[in-house]
Amino acid sequence: MKTMTCQQLGGPCDLAHQGATADDVIHAQDAHLKAAVKDGDTTHQQARQEMKFRWLHPKQSLTWYNDVKAAFAALPED
């Protein structure tokens, strides 16, 4: 398991997401952003819009995805 924060994934807070893969933490971040915005947290709104764009335009977002995967790979195991 490895840990990345909301902030490391482009969000505004330091909530930690854990996962066995980069995809696990990306999905956790997506769920976190959805929940935060649904609960009225406006600080997460921009990050949520960016994440929605990534899901809708994966080819255009490949740089972000590859950067997250590389950052995740460089992290030590928890």
pLDDT classification of 17: cutoffs 50, 70, 90: very high
Q: What's the CA gap between 42 and 55, in Å, rounded?
A: 20
Residue keyed to tokens 């924060």: 5
Is pLDDT of 15 > 90? yes
How many domains is the chain partitioned into structurally? 1
Residue 19 near residue 1 (C-beta atoms within 8 A): yes
Is pLDDT of 58 > 90? no
Is pLDDT of 71 > 90? yes
Closest CA to 8 of 52, 55, 67, 60: 67
**Confidence (pLDDT) at 22:** 97
Q: What tens digit of pLDDT does each residue of 23-37 get? A: 999 999 999 999 999
Domain that holds residue 69: 2-74
